[in-house]
Structure 1
Amino acid sequence: MTPSAPDARLAGKLSLTERVFAGGSSRRLLADVEAGLERVDRNLELELRVTDALADATSRYLYDAGGKRIRPMLALLTCRLGEGATDAVIEAATALELTHLGSLYHDDVMDAADKRRGVPSAHAVWGNSIAILTGDLLFSRASQIMGRHGDRAIRLQADTFERLVLGQMHETIGPEEDDDPVAFYLQVLSDKTGSLIAAAAQAGVIFSNGPEEYEAPIVQFGEKAGVAFQLLDDVIDLSADPDETGKVPGTDLRAGVPTMPYLLLGQRTDASSVDLHERIDEGVARIEDGAEPSILDIPLAELRDHDATQATLDLAHAWSREAVAALTPLPQGPVREALTRFADAVADRSS
């Protein structure tokens, strides 16, 4: 049943954990996942310690700023399909969260983002070079952790990291002349976001010695849920409430990074949509030449209320439904129910 608009808004205000573990039947599962997350956090605390004072400060910076720990949570859910939260599951979840953290340092440099998780971005504090090197350090540490668990873990880390890099590369260079911009962008989201979420969910099955036949559905689920998550992020990026999102509204577009609302706006042929698209392009060009980013405040507010943004939200829900459908081969029970709620929640949240 689709919730009413007020119910959907209320649900969007709940934390992801509250959404995923709603209902009394999930209490034991939630207790197990929380216990596992405490183990992951203890691991992260240890792995983020560096003897060099500067590297120690920069490595811990975004970790200390918070985060949803989505990827470890997924690994700790899917490991219930096998032997549970083994030491290998905890270590894999730690490595993939470090990989995610490292990617944030790089993304903020490339997108010229001012804030991350409600604090100044790392490159705003230490400069681009230190932020990039910090990301590299975290990637290295993640690889060291995976290296403790054999070829399968090394391949999972390497394949995921390759897709992260390719996704960022393709986002940077943009589509070729013959590419469909929307399809191209969806592939970028699948590589940059979906691959890591899928890897975390798959790791839970692999390192708990879960049934091999569950891996492919779990990977498909993670890819699609990851795209849904990022599409909703594109909507949140236009939010008028930076205190809630932790980001300046329109951060990506002000930096010239296309998002789905902008791409869908570009497909509209009516005069007002064409005019808005041109004004955004003009504003981005002026910002690149040194103008204040605030010159895009009005056009981005108009885009927030445009039907292209609603169409992006609809697309996020469609990918969420596909993620749920991918779970069909899994057995009925609390794990599948929680994963279903996760897919619903990532496409219907406020931050």
Structure 2
Amino acid sequence: MEKLKLKLLYADLKSDLEIIEKELEKALNSSSHLLNDASLHLLQAGGKRIRPIFVLLGAKFGDYDIQQVKNVAVPLELIHMASLVHDDVIDNSDMRRGRETVKAQWNNRVAMYTGDFIFARALTYMTELDNQRLHQILAHTMVEICNGEVIQIEDKFIVDQSLKDYFRRIKRKTALLISSSCELGAVAAGATEKDARHLRRFGYFVGMSFQIIDDILDIMATDEELGKPAGSDLLQGNITLPILLALQDEAVRPYIEKVVAHEQLSEEDRQAMLKKLRKSPAIAEAKKVSDKYLQKALREIEQLPKHPTRKKLRDIALFMGKRKF
């Protein structure tokens, strides 16, 4: 239902998104049957395609041409896909969106080479771009994502970290890609520097809000809704905002300490932990932080020229900041 609501918000982009989807499939074609199968396994798992959507919307503030814009939307989505494959290896994740991950379906080695292959295909697509600024944005995005993946490894199972550490991590993990999506679309379509800047800032704030909600939903949603066990972030050692805030809750803290001490939680303990976390004030506090970022994103929209796309950006931002799963 949630995914259907989102699709309705960008229904007029359907034909252009289909073009991007076909390009993604074409980009993942390989002479290796194994790489083909693993890459298409990831592509067919779907996803909301949030990043290509924001590329297209950003381009609406310039001279919109799907044949031009697809050349930035495709490599950006490939960068995102590659990072997901690597993330699943780092987190030892067997499920994503209700399907087996590449590392679970094959193994870690195949997953790592698949991620590398997808990164390489993104570089191939970038050769189609003749604007140096587009190359700079995409290259910076790739470097920062890699930095973010290493920082995530370094921060695993560490509860003695600041909110600044968490925000730095999710900026690289999520916000940067959405920020780059909005900016790339604007730059590719020749939008003004001012509009590209506001779109970049909008994407950053939306991305921060989106990831915080994602971290909350990892606790609040059911296993079925998530397509993986609820509480997986903590069980994998990823200390998210609601977990950091819940450290002050005496009813929850013992479970968190048990996980970070690398003690195995029984299914009964996992359910008990989730029950207490869902009642914790930490959830409402985390939502307030997400809402602050969302409000900042909406203020950036007001700085853009009056255009029908402004409402669409606002509607999608509100959806992302208020979604249930």
Q: TM-score band (shorter)?
A: over 0.9
Distance 1:158 1:165 in 2: 11
Does the Cα contact within 8 Å between 1:105 and 1:134 map onto a contact in 2? yes
The TM-score normalised by the length of structure 1 is: 0.86
Shift of 1:320: 0.8
1:24 is aligned to: none
For the pair 1:115 / 2:95, whether they are aligned, the reply is yes
1:223-234 aligned at under 5 Å gives the runs 223-234=204-215
Over residues 263-314 of structure 1, what are the superposed CA-to-partner deviations in whole Å (9 max), with x where a residue is unaligned?
1112x2xxxx135213222134344xx6656643311231122110121122
Q: How does 1:68-217 map to 2 (within 5 A)?
A: 68-150=48-130, 151-174=132-155, 181-217=162-198
- The verdict on how the C-alpha distance between 1:17 and 1:321 changes in structure 2, with shifts beyond 3 A counting, is farther
Residues 201-256 of structure 1 deviation map (CA, whole Å, 9 limit, x = unaligned): 11111111122221111111111100111000001111342222222101111111
Structure 1: runs of 5+ lacking an equivalent: 1-9, 22-29
CA distance in 1, matches of 2:55, 2:180: 9
Q: Which residue of 2 aligns with 1:26?
A: none
- Take 1:50 and 1:180, find their aligned partners in 2: how far apart are those partners? 42
Equivalent residues in 2 for 1:1-351 (5 A)?
15-18=5-8, 20-21=9-10, 30-31=11-12, 33-150=13-130, 151-174=132-155, 181-266=162-247, 268=248, 273-287=249-263, 295-351=269-325
Task: Tell me the distance in 1 between the aligned counterparts of 2:224 and 2:281.
Answer: 25
Amino acid at match of 2:82: G
Name the amino acid aligned to 2:303. Answer: P
TM-score w.r.t. length of structure 2: 0.93
The residue type equivalent to 1:276 in the other structure is V
Q: Give the Å deviation of 1:78.
A: 1.5
- Following the alignment from structure 1 to structure 2, what is the Cα–Cα distance between the partners of residues 247 and 108? 12
How far apart are the structure 2 equivalents of 1:169 and 1:36? 35
Determine the C-alpha separation between the residues in 1 that align with 2:39 and 2:163: 35
Unmatched segments (≥5 aa) in structure 2: none
Aligned residues of 2:237 and 2:259 also touching (Cα < 8 A)? no
- Asked if the contact 1:238–1:249 (Cα under 8 Å) also holds between the matched residues in 2, the reply is yes
SS state at 2:238 partner: coil
Is contact 2:220-2:230 (8 Å) kept? yes
> Which contiguous aligned blocks of 4+ residues in structure 1 show a shift greater than 6 angstroms?
none
- What's the secondary structure of 1:256's corresponding residue? coil
Number of residues of Structure 1 aligned to a counterpart in Structure 2: 322
RMSD of aligned Cα (Å): 2.1
Shift of 1:152: 2.5
What is the CA–CA distance in structure 1 between the aligned matches of 2:107 and 2:323, rounded to whole Å? 32
For residues 167 and 313 of structure 1, the distance between their equivalents in structure 2, rounded to whole angstroms, comes to: 23
Contact 1:13 1:349 in 2 (8 A): no
SS at match of 1:274: coil
Shift of 1:88: 2.2
Distance 1:157 1:240, change over 3 A: closer
Q: Per the alignment, in what secondary structure is the counterpart of residue 81 of structure 1?
A: coil
Asked if the contact 2:64/2:189 (under 8 Å) is kept, the reply is yes
Matched with 1:3 is none
